[in-house]
Chains A and B, each alone.
Chain A
Amino acid sequence: MAAVSLDHGLILAAILFVIGFVGLLTRRNLIVVLACIEIMLNAAGLAFVVAGARWGSPDGQVMFLFVLAMAAAEVAVGLALAIRFRQSLGRLDVDDADEMKG
């Protein structure tokens, strides 16, 4: 069934990770920065699943589940921080975070 080669799956994961990284470096909106971190975590999980599919083992999928749980925890805290950021500074520009004193 699966005639996809291992390298193509890993290259897809690398491309998605790098796109997320470019977004992280260039965007200023805090919500978009969090979304870019989600893209990068998802790409890392994709690499785990591809490597698991190479040997037909469930370990890669188990690791993806852990990445999923970590991403959910990260986004919950990150969005709560975004709400506080907006309340105290009135904007969502990450460059404004240097004014955040306590």
Chain B
Amino acid sequence: MTALFYIAAVVAVLATVLVITRTNLVHALLYLVVSLFAVAVVFFTLGAPFVAALEVIVYAGAIMMLFVFAVMLLNVSADSPLRVPTSAWIGPLLLVAVLLAELIYGIGLSDHALHAGQVGPQQVSDALFGPYVLGVELASMLLLAALIGARHIASQPESPDLEGPQPSSLGADARAGEGGAS
């Protein structure tokens, strides 16, 4: 299990580096799926099989499918790849390297072994619907708000012509939008 953890950790780090360096958007998203799978293996080796399954189902399944659909909908691959000049990478890399060194220093190398054994779905569910039931309700409200917000943002006017609209036609659109909403 320990070897499995380190192999999965190396795969996760390499795949994540590839995500932020690829210029082809679809390749980057597929590397992100690989990274999420590797993190799911890490969860499994840590004795959290329920969360490992959710990582695959929700992150790699639902969220990444949303990303890939958005890419297909937007036809982004036809864009010229947005290359950043190498000089723009140096400053952030140095600053973030300092941040990483501080984080590792703060974690402090000591010898806390992890708890042996699994924390299974039943214990997680008991905690989730026991002391954390208010959080579950808040998460449901957050998801409902996100659903309504995404629906509202993504589907605004049918014929926008936002570049140079006539004032009269803009007013007509607004009135039509109000009529449709009510």
* B63 in contact with A38 (CB, 8 Å): yes
What's the interface size class on A, roughly? 35 or more
Q: How far is the CB of B47 from chain A (nearest CB, A)?
A: 5
* B66 in contact with A79 (CB, 8 Å): yes
* A61 in contact with B113 (CB, 8 Å): no
**Contact partners of B63 in chain A: CB under 8 A:** 38, 71-72, 75
- The complex places the Cα of A39 from the Cα of B156 at a distance, in Å, of 30
What's the interface size class on B, roughly? 35 or more
- The complex places the Cα of A70 from the Cα of B88 at a distance, in Å, of 31
B108's partner among A7, A54, A60 (CB-CB below 8 A) is: A7
A92's partner among B29, B79, B119, B147 (CB-CB below 8 A) is: B79
* A32 in contact with B92 (CB, 8 Å): no
**Contact partners of A1 in chain B: CB under 8 A:** 1, 47, 116-118
* B115 in contact with A54 (CB, 8 Å): yes
Annotate A28-56 by CB proximity to B: 1 below 8 A, 0 otherwise. Answer: 11011011101100100010011011111
Q: Does B96 contact A (CB under 8 A)?
A: yes
- The complex places the Cα of A14 from the Cα of B110 at a distance, in Å, of 16
